[in-house]
Each structure stands twice: as C-alpha cells, then as structure tokens.
Amino acid sequence: MLSAGFVLTPMPARAITMVILGVAVGLAAGIGGYTFIYARGASYLTEDPCRVDRHGTQGAAVPSP
C-alpha cells in the first residue's frame, strides 16, 4: 500500500532510451563473449596455423584415399 506522500513520476524518455541501449549492448557483449569462448576464438588469433584444426579433428574419422 502506498503512503499518501508517495507519488510515482514517469521516467524521462532519455532515461528509458539509455536503459534500453544499455540492455542491448550488454546482451550483445554477453552473447558475443560466450560465443568467442565456446568456439575457442583465441585459437584463431595465434600464429600457429595448425592449432585451429587440431582441436576439431580429435577423434574424427579420416577418410581413406
């Protein structure tokens, strides 16, 4: 129950815009960071060209020629 002196004032449009923008940036950074870690994106930034392929082919069947 609200007291007699409590009045709800509407948020300014700029504040609402900033909250929505903050949530959107946070979601994009979170999803992008999760994807980068899950896909081992740091492997693509190293100088070793075989490091990227080495992880994905462990235990995979190699077709015979």
Asked whether residue 19 is assigned to any structural domain, the reply reads yes
Q: Which residue has the higher pLDDT, 6 or 34?
A: 34
How many whole angstroms separate alpha carbon 43 and alpha carbon 55? 10
Tell me, what's the pLDDT at 59?
A: 54
Asked whether residue 54 is assigned to any structural domain, the reply reads no
Q: How many domains does the chain have?
A: 1
Asked whether residue 17 is assigned to any structural domain, the reply reads yes
Asked whether residue 62 is assigned to any structural domain, the reply reads no
Asked whether residue 6 is assigned to any structural domain, the reply reads no
Q: What is the pLDDT of residues 11-55, one digit of tens each?
A: 899 999 999 999 999 999 999 999 999 988 887 887 776 655 555
How many whole angstroms separate alpha carbon 38 and alpha carbon 55? 13
Tell me, what's the pLDDT at 41?
A: 85
CB-based burial, 3-25: b 16+ in 10 Å, e otherwise: eeeeeeeeeeeeeeeeeeeeeee
Domain encompassing residue 18:
13-42
Tell me, what's the pLDDT at 8?
A: 80
How many whole angstroms separate alpha carbon 9 and alpha carbon 12? 9
